[in-house]
Amino acid sequence: MTGPLRRLRISTLSLLAGLAGGGAAFGFGLHWLHAALAGWCALVLAHLALLLRRLWSAGPEAMRRHAEITDERRVMVLTLSLLAAATSVAGVGLDVAMRPGGIPAFGVVTVALSWLYIHTLFAQDYAREFYLTGGGIRFHGGAGNPAFSEFLYLSIGVGTTNGVTDVDTHSAPIRRIATLHSIIAFFFNTVIIAGTVGIVGGLLGG
């Protein structure tokens, strides 16, 4: 299967999963906003599953091919990351604003999935930059051709600490990606804290 077709397959299956999840939730009588969040969660789950299935055990050549496929649409990483963050804000706000009709699980699941989604997308972008340019990142004690799990480790590290920890970055493009990632992670983590306080306050007040 060629690169564009494989990319289309992942995008199409993810979109279909989102539409099916949202439609099923609405059909079961959920509020349309909750149904929309259910659809988003289904889309994210499908996209994550398909990406990880392709990349988790991929060798160097497969990683390079995937990097070439995703290079022309790298702006999609930022777009989807911002969409994930915005959806999480909506999920948290929905639980607070619609109480007592709100469903706390929706806010929690939406935020958790969106958090993982953001960092998986950035892990893909770190891997794309590494395998297209031949470097820019050095993992201590790691192999010369890092597995995707190494880039996910880097991405989650940036997402939780807003900085690069025990990984060396020595190229300007990688540092630009890490800077953007840190900024998005900072605001996203702020939303998580604020939303958690709001939900707990609503539960205690209710």
Block mean pLDDT (10 aa), the chain, length 206: 57 89 92 85 92 89 84 70 73 66 71 88 91 83 82 92 82 89 87 68 60
Q: Residue 167 forms beta bridges with which residues? A: 139
Q: Is residue 162 part of a domain?
A: yes
Q: Is residue 149 part of a domain?
A: yes
CB atoms within 10 A of CB 168: 11
The boundaries of the domain holding residue 79 are 60-205
Give pLDDT, residue 59.
Answer: 87
Q: Is residue 4 part of a domain?
A: no
Q: Is residue 7 part of a domain?
A: no
Give pLDDT, residue 87.
Answer: 74
Q: Is residue 41 part of a domain?
A: no
Q: Is residue 199 part of a domain?
A: yes
Q: How many domains does the chain have?
A: 1
